Amino acid sequence: MTEVALIDAGGANLGSVRYALERLGAQVRLVRDADGLRDARRVILPGVGAAVPAMQRLHAQGLFEPLRQLEVPLLGICLGMQLLFERSEEGGGVATLGLIPGTVRKLVPATGIRVPHMGWNRLLPLRGSPLLRDIPERASAYFVHSYAAPLNAHTVAACDHGGLFSAVVEHGRYFGAQYHPERSGDTGALLLRNFLQDTAE
């Protein structure tokens, strides 16, 4: 049974992520300070909300540097994925964890393109990744967000909502899903399973 440290960064999706992990047989440990990370085999940073208060909470919990110094796989979900990057434009701009190069930017509304991006959309695989194992090409996933990371060298799957953005990323031991795997049926369950089983420590 894989033990997972699940960061409580104040996101409303914490309980549903925990339930999704437990359905896969994971032993989940809720983490609210650096001590909770000790001996964890996998770490997940979920999030719903805004980058500025989320970063304030991570600093207040003493988790900023411990997360940056992790030596085990780390998965960010939704806002948690955005926090893995260097900066976010949200709230006038905020420095985030700096684990993946790049800046998270606001999605641009246009005719027929609503922001926030909310609902089911297709994943467009760009390169191989252990996170994508057994996930069919152009599988659908559930998104809720107003900010996103542009495509870069670490994008393994994109999504198109008025333009392409990073839907799944991988950079060394750091992984991210902009969509909500806990709300994405088989597509989400496979990604979580792959993170638990197939990412190398």
**Cα 77 to Cα 32: distance, rounded to the nearest angstrom:** 17
As beta bridge partners, residue 148 has 105
Cis check: omega of the bond before 116, within 30 degrees of 0: yes
Kindly state the tokens that stand for 30. 């809720």
Amino acid of residue 157: A
* Residue 77: strand, helix, or coil: strand
Residues annotated catalytic, as ranges = 78, 180, 182
DSSP run (H or E) holding 86: strand 85-88
Helix ranges (H only) for the chain are: 14-23, 51-60, 64-68, 79-82, 185-198
Amino acid of residue 167: A
Q: Is 123:168 a contact under the CB 8 Å cutoff?
A: yes
